[in-house]
Structure 1
Amino acid sequence: MEEESLNGVDKVFELTVVTGGIDERIVFAEVNMVDRVDLLVNINIVRHIKSKVDKFDEIIQLSSKLSNPLLLESMLPTVISYFDAAILDTIREYVYARSFEIYDFMIEEQNNELLSKINKEELKKVEFKDCLIDQFLKDAEKQGITGKLLKLKKLFKIEFDLGNETWESIVESIARRNCLIHNDLIANTTYFRQAGKKEDNIEPGKRLVISSSYLVEHINFIKKLLLEIKEKIEIQFAQNTNVSVLKNLWDYLFENGYPLIFNNCWKIEGNYIKYIGPKLNDLCDATSPRIICLFTVWMTFFNSYRFPDVKYFADMFYISNEERETYSRKLKTLIDCFEKVSFQNFNVVVYDKI
């Protein structure tokens, strides 16, 4: 892939895609490719880890009451799947909240194989930057647990040890899960290769055991690692609160300020943020129809049926090509944000329509 700059265009990308077995060079010109609004919320980013740790506690309680080998064996794949999901869902949360970092990451990697995997037909259906995000996540999904953890470390810029005894025990439990699924727990060369240093005292050709004590011990190893990751994420992103994210989004939408200056429009009361700014009728006389459109989308989302004024949407398109692109992109960012970022615990209060 080659990259260059042109007047009026932020970046030009040329890459090879495969269509019907034939390599084809395609050039993409992206104007204002990245909208750098940070939507990462500290409570959102760790919610997947917390959810899976809670499930692990339930499994520990349940497994301690079981003696049936078949039931105990069936729990190990579930445990490893939850572990994998906790990591992948945390990566997804980060990607959706800070997509601009993914654009930079993939574009700056001049020889990144991910770009060559993008199918031409997909590029016709969605924007180029959406293709980058989709391809990044597809690649993450295909990674094993170790690969996902390494990707998480790089994205979040945190450190945790994947070489200590806790990790070695986790690796062995993953290998035992694979052996259960693919070889009915009969220890073979694949198991010994995957299990690493923690396969001591296990004889080749013998059937491995998944006991209640084994499950509890290895679940606790996984919990220990996940809780370490959770703690470091919470420290790293302590400043990314609900309020800061709403301010980021608000300032991005209404970057020109008056009359929608964040500090003049919102009052912070503990865990609540209350809208105290001008009402719709006042705004109609003070700002453009495009701003009104974005404002009504925001209020419709946070105030549900009590603010259903969508009549201004048509004004979004009766503007110049340049303005249409700017405001359409902002509208798309806002809709994507509502779709991909959880606002369930944001405690946002807005006025009644009347």
Structure 2
Amino acid sequence: MADDVDVLVLRRGTHGMPVEQYVETLRERLPDRTVELARTPAEEREKIRDATFATGMSLDAELLEVAENLEVFACAYAGTGHLPLEKLREQGVSVTNASGVHGPNIGEHVLGAILHFTRRFHEAQRRQRRREWRHYQANELAGSTVTVVGLGGIGEAVCQRLEPFDVDTIGVRYSPEKGGPTDDVIGFGTDAFDEALARTDYLVLACPLTDTTRGLIGHEEFVTLDPDAVVVNVARGPVIDTDALVDALRSSLIRGASLDVTDPEPLPEEHPLWGLGNVQITPHNAGHTPKYYDRLADIVATNVERIERSDWDAELENRVSL
């Protein structure tokens, strides 16, 4: 790679934040480098021809075809399943992601959702709307068991924020032998997973959507969970069987659900989940934070500096295995 590493930023922003903010933040992190923004489709096609380092939310196969000199693509999302990964591998392009960027804000979102149901704020809101001053029973989080499915950056952030609350934690991951920041760590598809569900008060889904996790929580799992359990989904909608979820909520197989993601998504206006009093819905909003571009720019700037030092391919932060 050339000594002077220029960074090309593709035009799409995220979370309603202008991509220009990302560009300005990168320029602050890399004052001695040229950071360019391709603001139109035509500019993207023109500028990516000579770019060696590009970053953005997505990179389609058509644009990749003209990226003759591209060596690194820094994806601005944690997930990279939407990228033409095979083509990137064939062209020898290294890929990094934004893993860890969402940890603090989604960790806080999950904690807020758990406390929402623990202290039954949804019941308080109903009584406030009716101007009804009448006490109701609530719970305490201390002594509860929280099972966190997925121990990546988001799952770890959730566990860190649960530490002061005196709860028992169970982590679920593909490689349980790696351990994790929970009291127990188990794998998928085992008797231990069912046993964990049976003693779970709050089930937090923070895993990627894969063949293993698609439909992970369905009718049998809802039956296994305690009727007082609450499900919090900040993963992907299809991790839960939606029809089974609606049935579980209506028949009191579980106490409630906090859903930042749904299947389908967006959730249609006529969908029954909107009308259930034991459901909290946020419109895929847990990932929003005003610090998103700051954290993302830190990753990109770190990798630009590592590239300049040598042996960059093995040292890239958040490098994705292709």
Normalised-by-shorter TM-score class: under 0.3
Which structure has more relative contact order (CA 8 Å, sep 6+)? It is 1
In proportion to residue count, which structure has more helix?
A: 1
In proportion to residue count, which structure has more strand?
A: 2
* TM-score for both structures, normalised by structure 1: 0.22
* TM-score for both structures, normalised by structure 2: 0.24
* Larger Rg computed on CA atoms: 1
